[in-house]
Amino acid sequence: MDPGPSPLRRYFDLLPVRRRKNLFWFGDGNTPCHAAEGFGRRTGLPHLFLKNESTNPTRSTKDRIASVALSRFSELGVGHLVTASTGNSSTAYARGVQLIDGIEMALFCGRGYHHRLNYPDHPTVATHLVDGDGPAVAAAARRFAERTGAVCEGGFFNLARREGLKLAYLEAFDQLPEPPDYVFQAVGSGTGLLGGYKGAVEYRLLGRLPALPRFMAVQQEGCAPMAAAYREGALSIEPRHIVAAPRGPAEAILCGDPAASYPYVRHACRTSGGRILAVGTDEIRAVRDLLEETEGIQVCHASATALAGAVRMRREGVLPARARVLVNLTGGDRVGWPTPQRFTVVAPRVRAAGAGLRSGAGAAGDEG
């Protein structure tokens, strides 16, 4: 194992990059994992540990995606990339692309999430804001890739996403004084949780974990299609589970239709002895405030959602007091960061051909 500062070199043998010389590391990782004694005393969780991913360069665990994915895409010779995101992944990717040569990227995001794109304008990054929901954003990105010959980044099914996100867990497992019994993470599509599960399976096979921890996926009640399906024992997301108008303070996990990813998240939770649950807005906000009061840590609402899941399970008596609990705090808010001012606004595809685009404020030009 490489003792240097780069997690990509430290865990290289467990990553989908063939040669070390092809690695691009953007300073992410090496985030703290510490005992939350004050918070634990107040909530009955005496063996609570927090992996604080808000100390990454863009205050998000998604920085790990950018390092691994751009290393892999570059090694594969990809020069033009298209991705769709609600903000954290896009911000991490945009920062990474601006730091290296050889890759240009088109970023698609729902117009209502423009405030969550926190990067300056740059010649290698084209921003497209879509007037529509998540599926409309993804469809616009796919159409652009098909027309231009660019490579679609892949979202949940991009191997490098999961491989990057699992590094937070490998680091935590190596930092903890004892292996965790339970792991909590907030989920929208569930990419991070699945990455952590894969990392735990690999560490178990390598003899670095005595057993798999129980993986607990947590959603917010205003957008909890996975929790609803899991509660019913459903094997897949059915139309009745889909949330057409997702709402809740944790914007990073507002995914109303996770039909493609749910079976994988369900499998990870069930096979590890965990579950999928949902917590309320009041719980999320109360936990977020208590964390800042007791530990001095400021996190986003998605991070607080995961922690609220642990607090609720302990309060209900499902989580034993003696359990060693790891909560992945996946990020923090970016206050005062720049947003791109040059962008194209993409209308929903319900118009005649040629009428699908219009210029936004400071637009970079029509998509054509």
Q: Are 85 and 107 in contact (CB under 8 A)?
A: yes
What does the pLDDT read at residue 358?
34
Task: Look at residues 187, 149, 203, 172 and name the one whose alpha carbon lies nearest to residue 53.
Answer: 172
What does the pLDDT read at residue 357?
36
Backbone angles phi, psi at 314, to 5 degrees: -70, -45
pLDDT at residue 353 greater than cutoff 50: no
Q: Tell me the two tokens of residue 35.
A: 């005992």
- Tell me what the mean pLDDT of segment 65-81 comes to: 97
pLDDT at residue 249 greater than cutoff 80: yes
Given phi > 0 = left and psi -120 to 50 = alpha, else beta, which region is 210?
alpha
Q: Check for a shared fold between 13-60+162-329 and 63-157+337-359.
A: yes
Q: Centre a 10 Å sphere on the Cβ of residue 20 and count the other Cβ atoms it contains.
A: 13
Percent of the chain with pLDDT over 90: 90
Q: 160-206, pLDDT tens digit by residue?
A: 999 999 999 999 999 999 999 999 999 999 999 999 999 999 999 99
Between residues 222 and 363, the one the model is more confident about: 222
pLDDT at residue 367 greater than cutoff 80: no
What does the pLDDT read at residue 1?
64
Interatomic CA distance for residues 188 and 59, integer angstroms: 18
Domain 13-60+162-329 has CATH 1.10.760.10: no
DSSP string for 233-252: T-SS--GGG--SS--SS-GG
Strand partners, 128: 108, 344
Q: 76-104, pLDDT tens digit by residue?
A: 999 999 999 888 999 999 999 999 999 99
Mutual angle of helices 159-175 and 191-205, in 10-degree steps:
60
Q: 308-337, pLDDT tens digit by residue?
A: 999 999 999 999 999 999 999 999 999 999
Task: List, as own/partner pairs, every contact residues 41-44 make where C-beta atoms lie below 8 angstroms and the sequence separation is at least 24, other chains included.
Answer: 42/290, 42/294, 43/290, 43/310, 43/311, 43/314, 43/315, 44/314, 44/315, 44/321
Interatomic CA distance for residues 79 and 91, integer angstroms: 19
Look over the chain and give the mean of its residue pLDDT values, rounded to a whole number: 93
SS (H, E, C) 59-127: CECCHHHHHHHHHHHHHCCCCEEEEECCCHHHHHHHHHHHHCCCCEEEEEEEHHHHHHCCCCCECCEEE
Interatomic CA distance for residues 228 and 199, integer angstroms: 27
Collapse the DSSP code of 322 into the 3-class scheme (helix H, G, I; strand E, B; otherwise coil) and give the result: coil
pLDDT at residue 362 greater than cutoff 70: no
- Tell me what the mean pLDDT of segment 344-354 comes to: 65
What does the pLDDT read at residue 354?
37
Q: Tell me the two tokens of residue 46.
A: 């005496």
Query: What's the burial of 316, exposed, middle or buried (CB within 10 Å: 0-12/13-18/19+)?
Result: exposed
Q: What is the CATH number of domain 63-157+337-359?
A: 3.40.50.1100
Q: Where along the chain do its domains lie?
A: 13-60+162-329, 63-157+337-359
What does the pLDDT read at residue 85?
87
Q: Residue 289: which residues within 8 A CB-CB, separation 6 or more?
A: none
Q: Are strands 275-279 and 214-220 parallel, antiparallel or unpaired?
A: parallel
